[in-house]
A and B are shown apart, each in its own frame.
Chain A
């Protein structure tokens, strides 16, 4: 152990820290752009602002490969089921950013057709104000999201996830034990019976030969 440590190729850390470090520095956004906010997101991606500085340069156009659902623009009632479906298709862990006034609250579209904030449909992690917000605001939101991810615990989530599984395993084990005990009891009683029968037979034979 000392020999290995002297070579300085081992670091000790908590698993939470290393997992969160990996997650927060490669957030791949899924752009759900429906209005002018999407244009601001495009300029955030370009070289002038350069979202790749925090590892988010890969804009994935499939929910199965992305971590952050970026809702940029007005969501109408006709679109709401589509947005929900896309959120459900994303693999966990997943986060949602509501970009701009429309996605956060419906904005000035206080009418029959517009959803008053996407938090009626899906949970939201970070809201960005503005109509549309500047790229700097978007960066701010990403930093806030990174801070949030920093505080998350992979192990805790995992413990919760496996809790159910553990309980199931425990229940199954108890059932198996019971079954095994029953089987043993059955076998023992069977054995006792056969021994008894054998003894009875012997007794009968002895009685016969005596006669």
Chain B
């Protein structure tokens, strides 16, 4: 904590970050999304910070939150360092509903790739510059974002056919140096196997 509070002055000066006073027991800074990428780079590489572990990326929907005024969504980055035992902090970006975009930090932390996909899947926050922004947990035919507060809690959506993952697999094999010579007939998508109403991806 004391470590982090020393950082605050630098963060305020360089990136216009503010301390989030709602977080009484931890250390959270609020930052504008324009400065997010630079701030994360600073936190990862600077000698006084060295936050080398990105524990989680969390989405928040403030719709109907008690005594709250401000943008509807927030994205929080939970950081930890292996260099000092108690140095932990969170970075929070507020996102409005009309312009639901945040710059991606998948180029800084490899794990951010999937974590951002999860937040996109569940909240619909778009991460600009993400290499492969697809749904992670829900199926391909899912419509809407289930962890938004205005998603009906009991709305269920059926999946009509299995996800076709072969192109993805082949791309990965090719990136590893293998060569796809031929596809067997059995693995090609078969029109008869799609049930009524399914979308072909």
Residues of A within 8 A of B (CB): 77-78, 80-82, 85, 110-113, 116
Question: Does any Cβ of A come within 8 Å of B68's Cβ?
Answer: no
Question: Does any Cβ of A come within 8 Å of B154's Cβ?
Answer: yes
CB atoms of B159 and A78 under 8 A apart? yes
Residues of B within 8 A of A (CB): 137-139, 142, 146, 151, 153-163
10 CB < 8 A contacts A-B: A77-B139, A77-B142, A77-B157, A78-B139, A80-B159, A81-B160, A81-B162, A85-B162, A111-B153, A112-B146
CB atoms of B138 and A81 under 8 A apart? no
CB atoms of B153 and A81 under 8 A apart? no
Which residues on the B side are within 8 Å of A81 (C-beta)?
Answer: 159-162
Give the shortest distance, in Å, between B157 (CB) and chain A (any CB): 6
Which residues on the B side are within 8 Å of A111 (C-beta)?
Answer: 153-154
Give the shortest distance, in Å, between A116 (CB) and chain B (any CB): 8
Of the candidates A77, A110, A112, A116, the one whose C-beta lies within 8 Å of that of B159 is A77
Give the shortest distance, in Å, between B160 (CB) and chain A (any CB): 7
Which residues on the A side are within 8 Å of B151 (C-beta)?
Answer: 112
Which residues on the A side are within 8 Å of B157 (C-beta)?
Answer: 77, 112
Of the candidates B146, B161, B162, the one whose C-beta lies within 8 Å of that of A113 is B146
Which residues on the B side are within 8 Å of A116 (C-beta)?
Answer: 156
Give the shortest distance, in Å, between A91 (CB) and chain B (any CB): 19
Closest to B157 in A: A77
Which residues on the B side are within 8 Å of A80 (C-beta)?
Answer: 158-159
Q: What 4 A-B pairs come out closest when comparing CB atoms?
A: A78-B139, A112-B146, A81-B162, A77-B159
Give the CA-CA distance A80 to B141 in the complex, in Å: 13
